[in-house]
Chains A and B, each alone.
Chain A
Amino acid sequence: MTLSNLAIGLLLTLVAAFFLNAQKRAFFIFIFSLVAVYALQPALPIRYIDFWLPTIGLVLVIVLWIVITPHEIVKSRENIFTFGWILLVIVILGMTRYLDGLSFLTASIPPRIEQIMSALVVFGILILFAIFWAKNKSIALGGIILVISLLIAIKYQPITIWLAQTLRSFNNQAIETVTAFDIRWLGLSYIAFRLIHTLQDSIRRRGPTVFLQEYVTFIFFYPALVAGPIDRLERFVKDLRAPFSRSNIEWGFIIERLALGLFKKYILADSLALVAINPQNATQIQNAGWAWVLLYAYAFQILLDFSGYTDIALALGRLIGIKLPENFKQPYLKPNLTHFWNNWHMSLTQWFRAYVFNPFSRSLRGTSLPAWGMILLAQLLTMTLIGLWHGITPNFVIWGLWHGLGLFFHSRWQNVLRVRVSNWATTPMRQQVVNWSGILITFNFVALGWVWFVLPTPQKTLDFFSLLFRFG
């Protein structure tokens, strides 16, 4: 997100917080989130795709809301109005093709209005079909499979490139210059997790019934659109429905987190990015000392960049009455890997715990596997999937396995040594020694893991490890 985007978002949020009552505030968040989906979408070389991707996302969200919502609620007056507002926003954004002054609202020039109208007719038929036909568990399960398929299509380069080639030839554009960056879908990773959470909860007959306006706002909530956190629908809607008054705004929290976030993201992280390891400089340096500098710089860059974003999102959310969940709590100061993962990208790890780790661990209980085998399998599966969420490449798989094995060994070590260590660490001094040794080991394990994360291939990663430890 650029600073100018952020400034506009902050300014409009301030205006809304000062001048709008609770009902108008909810409506403002809804409309502004809709517009943000288009305005923040990166411009793409395939013609009009940066308009169609947000529109398809919006239609998908509407259809899936229909799937999880009781029929009588879907057809209520409020929701009919919301359908109308969404339609109006899409048409107005499409009209910016003809209005120079508003072109900043979309990534690039939108399609011609007749193309948009034709697509809306098709989408309308799809939505009507969903209203009358999509009403059972298997459709919700189909929705989960569809969302996962979209994630795979966007995160697995061969499929992304194939899709980009297909779209380019459909548009009569050159296919020689195709890259995986031709299709970048803003926020899909986060949107997908919110959708899967609500679909899965609906299959288990849990989760609240919400209006379309609330659901769209939850999925596309503008402060959390680009980089999370991943909230839960029931918690989010509670805030959205709560009375809102200017006198309740927590200015201390907002100013502190906004200042901290801006400082972390735009000053510290962006400066560290100049020295942090990347695919280019990793192959250029020859010195082990510098390799460690690059690696530590990256470890702090990724933390400060990501947690800075989260600080800004939390501040903006709080300004408009939404208490987004925390995502980072000093993860590099944790004495073991389990604690690290309880405090790093917390909303993601909680999501994986709820929807992957816990059900999978539960299902393993019925098998004849020994306890350690169950722990190993559950840790490896969960962490590998977290790796794949970042991108479907061998390096992300290895990064996931690195942490899965790390968590497994920590859990075994803890079982064997916990009592012995606590018997030894009887003085405050010894406790400090145990604590700081743990912090140092954990931080370095995580930092070394980032090499897999940041470099594109196993060979480049191994070369960098050789440099770090001067092998060969």
Chain B
Amino acid sequence: MTEEMIATLKKFIATEIARQPDRSIAADEKLISSGLIDSFSLVDLGLYVEDTFGVRIEDTELNADTFDTLEQLAALIQSRQ
């Protein structure tokens, strides 16, 4: 389940945000603090998570302190499902 979720998120980030579909993103790679996902794309990611997994991520939670890697984001989503 977690791997599947991480794969879905990874595909969205690589294709829609980084615009490099072939880019590999490790599950523990820093996404926000590294600058790969900027503030505006972070809102896109938040909306994508809401639409795809039915989980709300608050505006105050869209930051590197709440999640900074794919596995942290997947854990956050699962904790709310």
> Which residue on B lies nearest to A354, using beta carbons?
B60
Q: Mark B38-59, 1 if CB is under 8 A from A, else 0.
A: 1110110011000000000011
* Contact status A415-B43, CB under 8 Å: no
Q: Mark A63-107, 1 if CB is under 8 A from B, else 0.
A: 000000000000000000000000000000000000000000000
Contacts of A419 in B (CB 8 A): 19-20
CA distance in complex: A417, B76 (Å) = 33
B63 within 8 A of A: yes
* Contact status A357-B39, CB under 8 Å: yes
Known contacts A206-B60, A415-B19, A365 near B47 by CB under 8 Å:
yes
Q: Which of B33, B43, B58 has the most CB of A within 10 A?
A: B43
Q: How distant is A57 from chain B, measured CB to nearest CB, in Å?
A: 24
| Cross-chain contact of B63 among A338, A339, A350, A362 (Cβ < 8 A) | A350
Contacts of A206 in B (CB 8 A): 58, 60
Known contacts A358-B62, A362-B59, A415-B19, A353 near B39 by CB under 8 Å:
yes
A342 within 8 A of B: yes
Contacts of A414 in B (CB 8 A): 38
* Contact status B40-A354, CB under 8 Å: no
| Cross-chain contact of A342 among B18, B35, B40, B46 (Cβ < 8 A) | B35
Contacts of B39 in A (CB 8 A): 338, 353, 357-358, 361
Chain A stretch 335-368: residues in CB contact (< 8 A) with chain B? 336, 338-339, 342, 350, 353-355, 357-359, 361-362, 365
* Contact status A362-B35, CB under 8 Å: no
Q: How distant is B66 from chain A, measured CB to nearest CB, in Å?
A: 10
Number of residues of chain B lying within 8 A (CB) of chain A: 17
* Contact status A336-B47, CB under 8 Å: no
Q: Mark A217-240, 1 if CB is under 8 A from B, else 0.
A: 000000000000000100000000
Known contacts A342-B35, A353-B39, A378-B40, A358 near B59 by CB under 8 Å:
yes
Contacts of B42 in A (CB 8 A): 358
* Contact status A362-B20, CB under 8 Å: no
Contacts of B59 in A (CB 8 A): 353-355, 358-359, 362
A401 within 8 A of B: no
* Contact status B19-A362, CB under 8 Å: no
* Contact status B62-A354, CB under 8 Å: yes
A201 within 8 A of B: yes
Q: How distant is B18 from chain A, measured CB to nearest CB, in Å?
A: 8
Contacts of B43 in A (CB 8 A): 357-358, 361-362, 365
Chain B stretch 11-48: residues in CB contact (< 8 A) with chain A? 18-20, 33, 35, 38-40, 42-43, 46-47
Contacts of A232 in B (CB 8 A): 60
* Contact status B38-A338, CB under 8 Å: yes
* Contact status A336-B35, CB under 8 Å: yes
Contacts of B40 in A (CB 8 A): 361, 374-375, 378-379, 411
> Which residue on A lies nearest to B35, using beta carbons?
A339
Contacts of A362 in B (CB 8 A): 43, 46-47, 59
Chain A stretch 384-408: residues in CB contact (< 8 A) with chain B? none
Q: Which of B19, B40, B42, B47 has the most CB of A within 10 A?
A: B40
Q: How distant is A334 from chain B, measured CB to nearest CB, in Å?
A: 9
> Which residue on B lies nearest to A329, using beta carbons?
B33
Contacts of A359 in B (CB 8 A): 59
CA distance in complex: A415, B18 (Å) = 8
CA distance in complex: A365, B51 (Å) = 13
CA distance in complex: A28, B32 (Å) = 38
CA distance in complex: A39, B14 (Å) = 54
Q: Which of B39, B46, B63 has the most CB of A within 10 A?
A: B39
Can you list 21 A-B pairs, Cβ within 8 angstroms, ordered by A? A201-B60, A206-B58, A206-B60, A338-B38, A339-B35, A353-B62, A353-B63, A354-B59, A354-B60, A354-B62, A355-B60, A358-B39, A358-B42, A361-B39, A361-B43, A374-B40, A375-B40, A378-B40, A411-B40, A418-B20, A419-B19
A interface residues, Cβ below 8 angstroms from B: 201, 204, 206, 232, 336, 338-339, 342, 350, 353-355, 357-359, 361-362, 365, 374-375, 378-379, 411, 414-415, 418-419
Which 6 pairs between the two chains have the least Cβ-Cβ distance?
A: A358-B59, A354-B60, A361-B43, A375-B40, A359-B59, A358-B62
